[in-house]
Chain A
Amino acid sequence: MARWLTIFFLLGSFLFVFTGCSHNKLKRAVTSQTAIVTAKELNPVISTSGASKYKAEIDIFTRHFTGIIVLKQTDSLTKHLVFVTELGMRMFDFIIRGDSIRAAYVFEPLNKPGLINNLTADFRDILLVSIFNNKADYKIIGKKNCLVLRDKGHTLALFRDERNFANEIIVYSGKNKHSKINYLADYTSIKFRQKGMVKLKIDLNKIKEEH
Chain B
Amino acid sequence: MKKILLLIFVARFAFAQNFKPVKDTVALRLKIEQVSKTVNTIESDFNQEKNLSMLSEKIVSKGHFVFKKENLLRWEYNSPYKYLIVINKDKIRIKDEKKTSKYDMNNNKVFKEINDIMISCVQGNIFKSGKFKVLYFENDKYYKLELWPLQKNMKESLKKINMYFDKNVTSVSKLDMIEPNDDSTTLEFINKKLNGTVADNIFSVR
Q: Chain A residues in contact with chain B, CB under 8 A?
A: 2, 51, 53, 55, 57, 64, 66, 68, 70, 72, 74, 80, 82, 84, 86-90, 105, 107-109, 207-208, 210
Contact = CB atoms under 8 A, between A and B. Distances in A.
A23 to B, nearest CB: 33
24 contacts: A51-B57, A55-B81, A57-B98, A64-B99, A72-B55, A74-B54, A74-B55, A84-B50, A86-B61, A86-B77, A86-B85, A87-B118, A89-B185, A90-B52, A90-B179, A107-B157, A108-B156, A108-B157, A109-B109, A207-B80, A207-B81, A208-B80, A210-B60, A210-B80
> Which bracket fits the contact residues of B?
20 to 34
Given A84-B50, A88-B177, A70 B55 contact: yes
A84 B59 contact: yes
Contact of B55 (A82, A88, A109): A82
Nearest to B97: A2
Contacts, number: 61
Contacts of A55: 80-81
B79 interface: yes
Nearest to B118: A87
Contacts of B81: 55, 207
Nearest to B110: A109
Contacts of B77: 86
B83 A66 contact: yes
B183 interface: yes
Nearest to A55: B81
Interface in B54-75: 54-55, 57, 59-61
A53 B59 contact: yes
Interface string B120-151: 00000000000000000000000000000000
A119 to B, nearest CB: 18
Interface string B13-45: 000000000000000000000000000000000
Contacts of B54: 74, 80
Contact of B101 (A64, A82, A109): A64
